Amino acid sequence: MKIDIRQIAEGEESIVIRYRELTPDLGRIIGILNDGESKLWGKTEGEDCSVSFDEVLYLETVDDKVFAYTSEKVLRIDGSLNSFMSDVNDDSFFRCSKSMIINLNRVSALKSLSSNRIDATLENGEHIMISRRYASDFRKLLRGYKQDEK
């Protein structure tokens, strides 16, 4: 990708973005330029659209495709769950299983289950299981430790 940045002495400032295909990185840049809010870009029913990170309930991988779920729509996004977690510097997202990430800000209730799993109920009433592998990290997070601290 070629980046051309020039300072001007006078006249109106402008930004031009030319692309062949709208990638997640370009989508984020456009979202920031449009309103300064972090957005997640994807496709829903064949058209490009975006949602703010706050709207996302959870992300899930199904058949090697990543979907972001809000209370109103489902977006097919590019990349992987790992790339999402590394690209998005937001502590409100937590990897809860091999195939799922939840938005902690959208969790309304938690329930401990047998075999060290946790049932997280989202604001829309949907239940997400936090697997045994990630449950101890989740409990540490609840106690005030950051995800990077072990």
Task: Tell me the three-class secondary structure of the chain, residue by residue.
Answer: CCCCCCCCCCCCCCCCCCCCCCCHHHHHHHHHHHHCCCEEEEEECCEEEEEEHHHCCEEEEECCEEEEECCCCEEEECCCHHHHHHHCCCCCEEEEECCEEEEHHHEEEEEECHHHCEEEEECCCCEEEECHHHHHHHHHHHCCCCCCCC
147 — pLDDT class (breaks 50, 70, 90): low
Structure token digits, residue 95: 């990897």
Percent of the chain residues past pLDDT 70, beyond the cut: 91
120 located within any domain: yes
11 located within any domain: no
Residue 73 sits in which domain range? 24-142
15 located within any domain: no
pLDDT of residue 144: 81
19 located within any domain: no
60 located within any domain: yes
61 — pLDDT class (breaks 50, 70, 90): very high
If one counts the domains in the chain, the total is 1
76 located within any domain: yes
Q: Could you tell me the CATH number of the domain that includes residue 119? A: 2.40.50.1020
pTM (predicted TM-score): 0.72
16 located within any domain: no
12 located within any domain: no
pLDDT for 2-17, tens place per residue?
778 888 899 888 888 8
pLDDT for 87-115, tens place per residue?
787 788 999 999 999 999 999 999 999 88
